[in-house]
Amino acid sequence: MTTQTREPAIRVQAITKSYKDLHVLRGVDLDVAAGSIFALLGSNGAGKTTLVRILSTLLKANTGTATVHGFDVSSAPGDVRKSISLTGQFAAVDEVLTGRENLVLVAKLRHLKNPGAIADDMLARFSLADAGNRRAATYSGGMRRRLDIAMSLVGNPPVVFLDEPTSGLDPQARIEVWQTVKQLAKDGTTILLTTQYLDEAEQLADRIAILHKGTIIQNGTLAELKQLLPSAKVEYVEKQPTLEDVFLALVGDTSDTADEAAMSAGEESR
Ligand SMILES: Nc1ncnc2c1ncn2[C@@H]1O[C@H](COP(=O)(O)OP(=O)(O)OP(=O)(O)O)[C@@H](O)[C@H]1O
Ligand SMILES: [Mg+2]
């Protein structure tokens, strides 16, 4: 552990990935500091899920290297898998089981001691204690997502990948998930999340990177990204650019309707 503390928790160097003629990742570089929240932004089809799948060893890059928690994803995939959790867009929750039973099941699958105690601890951490003995089918979308994240965190992996953790959730449920993510980072977990919601990146991320046309075109803190645009537009009031203004200026899309279509193109986001 101590030998790894100075290294970034995630290091990505010159990663490329093509699907036949489609060059999705054309040389991606990024570092994620241990214990930080890093948001990867990009339009539909930018390659966010592809990068997350490479980092979680589900997919092989064509060229380049990546390490997670000090382990190389291609030469030590087993060690990487033991160090991470991945929550995708599709919940792993079994609806017939109660929340508690879902958690106990995961703890047993991971050969952990005291699965019942682990489940109770997770239910408490994710504000699901009162609902723990109800079937997951009766949960709201936000509760289900929290349960899904809780299940992926059984065993307390040091690095967590969240691929669009709040897509499809209502504002209240999103805030609940955000609180969960913030608490995880406070406890020292490293989090890489992808999102199309720019306010989500603004709320959560210590650093934000924009993936566009196969490379990271910007990478910085929110304040650094905001400095890329003139800081004050004078209309009636001085207006700071939002991250959305910065994103659209960088990606070059000024059409509201295209933006809305991208935001709601759920069937493409898998
Ligand atoms: N298995 C695959 N075979 C062929 N093409 C693929 C495959 N997986 C992804 N792609 C293509 O690669 C591109 C990047 O897809 P990816 O899912 O990584 O994008 P994304 O940034 O996660 O998009 P979204 O915001 O919609 O989730 C898309 O054009 C997609 O159609
Ligand atoms: Mg995706």
Q: What CATH number does the domain containing 63 carry?
A: 3.40.50.300
Do residues 89 and 193 both lie within one domain?
yes
- Ligand 1, pocket-test mutation among 26, 50, 193, most atoms within 8 A of CB: 50
> Closest by alpha carbon to 62, among 51, 71, 70?
51
Do residues 44 and 7 both lie within one domain?
yes
Do residues 155 and 199 both lie within one domain?
yes
Residue 91: pLDDT band by 50, 70, 90 thresholds? low
Do residues 163 and 244 both lie within one domain?
no
Count of domains observed in the chain: 2
* Contact present, 39 and 200 (Cβ < 8 Å): yes
Do residues 267 and 208 both lie within one domain?
no
Q: pLDDT value at position 258?
A: 43
Average pLDDT (200-226) is 94
* Centroid of ligand 1 to alpha carbon of 68 (angstroms): 22
Do residues 147 and 49 both lie within one domain?
yes
The protein residue whose alpha carbon is closest to atom 13 in ligand 1 is 45
194 within domain boundaries: yes
Q: pLDDT value at position 11?
A: 98
The torsion region of residue 111 among left (phi > 0), alpha (psi -120 to 50) and beta comes to: left
How far is residue 250's CA from residue 267's CA, in Å, rounded to a whole number? 25
How far is residue 185's CA from residue 143's CA, in Å, rounded to a whole number? 20
pLDDT at residue 270 above 60? no
**Relative to the CA of 49, which ligand 1 atom is closest?**
22
123 within domain boundaries: no
> Closest by alpha carbon to 165, among 157, 176, 154?
176
| 263 alpha carbon, closest ligand | 1
Average pLDDT (231-245) is 68
Do residues 169 and 75 both lie within one domain?
yes
**Relative to the CA of 43, which ligand 1 atom is closest?**
25
pLDDT at residue 6 above 90? no
- For residue range 109-164, list pLDDT tens digits in order: 888 999 999 999 999 988 899 999 999 999 988 888 889 988 988 888 999 999 99
Identify which has the larger pLDDT, 237 or 239: 239
The protein residue whose alpha carbon is closest to atom 30 in ligand 1 is 45
84 within domain boundaries: yes
- Domain housing 256: 239-270
How far is residue 25's CA from residue 62's CA, in Å, rounded to a whole number? 9
102 within domain boundaries: no
109 within domain boundaries: no
pLDDT at residue 250 above 90? no
**In the structure encoding, which two tokens stand for residue 153, read together?**
């965190």
48 within domain boundaries: yes
pLDDT at residue 240 above 90? no
Do residues 10 and 86 both lie within one domain?
yes
Do residues 88 and 18 both lie within one domain?
yes
| 40 alpha carbon, closest ligand | 1
221 within domain boundaries: yes
pLDDT at residue 73 above 80? yes
| Residues contacting ligand 1 via CB (< 6 Å) | 19, 22, 24, 42, 44-50, 196, 268-269
**In the structure encoding, which two tokens stand for residue 206, read together?**
């210590």
How far is residue 158's CA from residue 48's CA, in Å, rounded to a whole number? 21
Lowest mean pLDDT among 34-38, 75-79, 233-237: 233-237
Side chain identity, residue 137: A
The protein residue whose alpha carbon is closest to atom 31 in ligand 1 is 45
Average pLDDT (219-245) is 76
Side chain identity, residue 28: V
216 within domain boundaries: yes
* Centroid of ligand 2 to alpha carbon of 48 (angstroms): 5
Do residues 32 and 66 both lie within one domain?
yes
The mean of the pLDDT values for the chain is 86
Q: pLDDT value at position 127?
A: 86
- Ligand 1, pocket-test mutation among 17, 24, 43, 60, most atoms within 8 A of CB: 24
Do residues 189 and 212 both lie within one domain?
yes
* Centroid of ligand 2 to alpha carbon of 265 (angstroms): 11
10 pairs with which residues across the strands? Answer: 32, 68
Do residues 53 and 150 both lie within one domain?
yes
